[in-house]
Amino acid sequence: MALLLLIAHTLLFIAGLSLLGQLVVGLFNWGRREQNVVYQLFAVVARPMVRVARLVTPRLVLDQHVPVVAFLLCLFGYVAVGVFQRNVCLERLDQRGCEKWAQSRAR
């Protein structure tokens, strides 16, 4: 269980960072950001989270605002999964994926 939570935690982190990277690359070249290779790479990595955000948002939300919703979902999901993983690991420290919590407890 803890290992699956660690994997989900890491995937949310990667998706959030790729959305943030898209923003930073887009700021440097806003008009032609869609032709930028790095921007497109970040878009490929973040696409699953953007699709999830599109599914949970009403049609009233514009498509250009969906990446912001996706980033917020990543941020809140990252914190929630992290707290849940911590609670699961503190119950049983011998699980896979709880190594950092076991080291922290040992100190």
Q: For residue 58, what pLDDT is reported?
A: 92
Q: Where are the domains of the chain?
A: 2-106
Rounded distance between C-alpha atoms, residue 58 and residue 46, angstroms = 20
Alpha helices in 1-107 (DSSP H): 2-28, 37-56, 66-91, 99-106
Return the structure tokens found at 83. Answer: 């707290």
Q: What is the mean pLDDT of residues 23-38?
A: 88
**What's the pLDDT tens digit per position in 55-78?**
999 989 898 899 999 999 999 999
Rounded distance between C-alpha atoms, residue 45 and residue 41, angstroms = 6
Look at residues 2, 3, 1, 23 and name the one whose alpha carbon lies nearest to residue 74: 23
Return the structure tokens found at 7. Answer: 């994997």
What mean pLDDT value characterizes the chain? Answer: 91
Q: Which letter does DSSP use for residue 62 in this model? A: -
Rounded distance between C-alpha atoms, residue 42 and residue 28, angstroms = 15
33 pLDDT higher than 90: no
Rounded distance between C-alpha atoms, residue 105 and residue 83, angstroms = 16
